[in-house]
Amino acid sequence: MRIDLISEHASPLAMIGGADSGGQNVHVAALARALGERGHQVRVYTRRDSPELPDWVRAGPGVTVEHVPAGPPSTLPKDALLPYMREFGDYLAQQWLLKPPDVAHAHFWMSGLAARHGAGGTGIPVLQTFHALGVVKRRHQGAADPSPPSRIPLEADLAREAALVVATCSDEASELAALGVPAQRVAVVPCGVELDRFTPQGPRVARGSQHRLLSLGRLVERKGVETTVRALPEVPGTELVIAGGGDAIADAELARLAALAQAAGVRERVRILGQIPHRDVPALLRSADVVVSVPWYEPFGMVPLEAMACGVPVVASAVGGHLDTVLDGRTGVLVAPRDPAALAQRLRELLADPGRLAAMGSAAAARARFRYGWGRVAGEIELLYRRVLADRRAAPAPVALAPGGRS
């Protein structure tokens, strides 16, 4: 098949770890690569955010990334991109007139707007993956949510009009049902993990004799790293390593977390690494006794999955995608978000029982390999593409009306 992926702000070529670069970038890059390995021709459309970028880049067998001129060729916060989505859609319309894909798959709501505009009248089926829903973000962030006010109603429209919505977890499917999207229009396919890189075997970052907790990922307040810092005074003999950063928002959050650690009297037990290359992540994960991921909400959560694949138990907040990936008591532990006391108690219990930690790590690695390899995930998504195409072919042709309205 010819498959076009639209990812307006999350380039598969971008560095990971900034305020607007994270799981979606990894997801789109890995999905494109896995589909290419299955013999498909995949083109990823993402916004040009630098004048130095080439028009397109060959990103792997069968995979091309194309930089779309929409808005200024500079880095902009994703929440400022809405005014440029019609321009993005116009570009897609021009490209699809010349070389229409069999299917288009939009990633994030603004990509959906551009894809819907570009596909208008062509018959190209557009599938939609949101990666995050505005209604959930608004529920947890309230007035601090920087999303455009129109996001929630536009997402609801996109979900109802898409050929199929591909949700990444069961919790998202429930949220879509609450928006009025029929269950038969939603399929759940999780994100995947690169099983050739994230393995229990391999190098480990050197560490001291203390227990090690690791918090890894985008550094924004909703990721809940503050909860882990506030729990640390009640988890003696343990260091917390915080990795992430790379832009002004993340650096400000790092400074805030350092100040919180100082005030809590644990600054000497908190190591702040800043942003690290994605290639170094597996070795850092393997160095931890426990990976802690306790965001307020989480559409899916790539870091717990990568930790599991490396054989490291996870303590995660009982939200979003974590409810699917982390089997409470078997591959890790689920806790309530924003509850430092409960988090500290569970961490003390785990760190005091090395045998239980080892068993959880083995179970986590086995679950990751069985369910979350990108080969399996891409195969499931390919089946959805074929289902949508089959449904289109089976749909009855519209009845032509004779003059006067009679058929």
3-state secondary structure the chain: CEEEEECCCCCCCCCCCCCCCCHHHHHHHHHHHHHHHCCCEEEEEEECCCCCCCCEEEEECCEEEEEECCCCCCCCCHHHCHHHHHHHHHHHHHHHHHCCCCEEEEECHHHHHHHHHHHCCCCCCEEEECCCCHHHHHHHHHHHCCCCCCHHHHHHHHHHHCCEEEECCHHHHHHHHHCCCCHHHEEECCCCECCCCCCCCCCCCCCCCCEEEEEECCCCHHHCHHHHHHHHHHCCCEEEEEECCCCHHHHHHHHHHHHHHHHHCCHHHEEEEECCCHHHHHHHHHCCCEEEECCCCCCCCHHHHHHHHCCCCEEEECCCCHHHHCCECCCEEEECCCCHHHHHHHHHHHHCCHHHHHHHHHHHHHHHHHHCEHHHHHHHHHHHHHHHHHHHHHCCCCCCCCCCCCC
* Residues 147 and 258 grouped into a single domain: no
pLDDT tens across 258-269, in order? 999 999 999 999
* Residues 162 and 263 grouped into a single domain: no
pLDDT tens across 90-113, in order? 999 999 999 999 999 999 999 999
| Mean pLDDT score across all residues of the chain | 93
Is the pLDDT at 340 greater than 70? The verdict is: yes
* Residues 160 and 260 grouped into a single domain: no
Global confidence as pTM: 0.89
For residue 6, tell me if it sits in a domain.
yes
* Residues 97 and 170 grouped into a single domain: yes
pLDDT tens across 341-369, in order? 999 999 999 999 999 999 999 999 999 99
Tell me the mean pLDDT in the region 59-73: 96
The pLDDT of residue 406: 44
User: Between 299 and 304, whose confidence is greater?
Assistant: 304
* Residues 53 and 176 grouped into a single domain: yes
* Residues 323 and 222 grouped into a single domain: yes
Is the pLDDT at 246 greater than 90? The verdict is: no
The pLDDT of residue 398: 55
For residue 201, tell me if it sits in a domain.
no
Is the pLDDT at 400 greater than 60? The verdict is: no
Domain that holds residue 96: 2-192+374-394
For residue 165, tell me if it sits in a domain.
yes
For residue 246, tell me if it sits in a domain.
yes
Q: Tell me the CATH number at 29.
A: 3.40.50.2000
Is the pLDDT at 143 greater than 90? The verdict is: no
For residue 311, tell me if it sits in a domain.
yes
User: Between 401 and 196, whose confidence is greater?
Assistant: 196
* Residues 265 and 177 grouped into a single domain: no
* Residues 27 and 78 grouped into a single domain: yes
* Number of domains composing the chain: 2
**For residue 21, what pLDDT band results from cuts at 50, 70 and 90?**
low
pLDDT tens across 385-398, in order? 999 999 988 877 55
For residue 184, tell me if it sits in a domain.
yes
The pLDDT of residue 206: 93
* Residues 157 and 245 grouped into a single domain: no
* Residues 270 and 154 grouped into a single domain: no
Is the pLDDT at 153 greater than 80? The verdict is: yes
pLDDT tens across 107-120, in order? 999 999 999 999 99
* Residues 186 and 219 grouped into a single domain: no
For residue 399, tell me if it sits in a domain.
no
For residue 289, tell me if it sits in a domain.
yes
* Residues 233 and 188 grouped into a single domain: no
Is the pLDDT at 18 greater than 60? The verdict is: no
